[in-house]
Amino acid sequence: MGGTPSATGARRRKVRRVAAVPFYSSETDYPSEAFVDPLDKLIVEAECKKLSSSFFHYTDRGKFSSVAELFTEDGVFERFGETLRGRSEIIESMSSRPQSIVIRHGLLNMHFTSVESDTATAYVDVLTVYGVYGVSSDESSVVAQVADSPRVVQFEDLYQNIDGVWRIQRRAAQIILSGRHVRG
């Protein structure tokens, strides 16, 4: 057993130092050294995660003006064959949904593919459940009944820092997993 004696006479194990292994696994991921200051990188990621979480929170509650404010003035939202350009188009399209439709998004994961001081890109996977308002079986309350199979939707995001404020520049949605789907 190697090592050197300590002050008490017991031998301490030698700690073997190994080179740091990058945490990325493919060419689409970025190396941890891509951002000079790790703390700044974490702050950028946290700001972008908050944008994404807020997007789903406001969408689920029908606060479409708040959703639009998360985008840059010329932001683009692509979803299911529709391209919305600018905040006013985002508000107009989202506001056209029937009031009886209930949507909830469960954030599954978020993976950053690049983080820089003024831009960041990420994939965001969510579980989307649609329902329709109705009356409960005992007629005591109004509840939403699931109207469709849940779907897993992937968002490909580009975030941009404009004058110290992070916004969504582009968000493109793609259905990854889906059962039966009836569009309402």
Give the pLDDT mean for 129-134. Answer: 80
Sign of the four-CA dihedral 109, 125, 87, 74: positive
Encode pLDDT of 145-176 as tens digits: 777 788 999 999 999 999 999 999 999 999 99
Q: Evaluate whether 134 touches 144 at the Cβ level (below 8 Å).
A: yes
Contacts of 90 (CB under 8 A, 6+ apart): 64, 67, 68, 71, 75, 77, 84
- Residue 11, pLDDT > 90, answer no
- Say which residue, 98 or 45, is predicted with more confidence: 45
> Is the whole model's pTM more than 0.85, yes or no?
no
35-177: in CATH 3.10.450.50: yes
What is the Cα–Cα distance from 73 to 90, expressed in whole angstroms? 11
- Say which residue, 102 or 107, is predicted with more confidence: 107
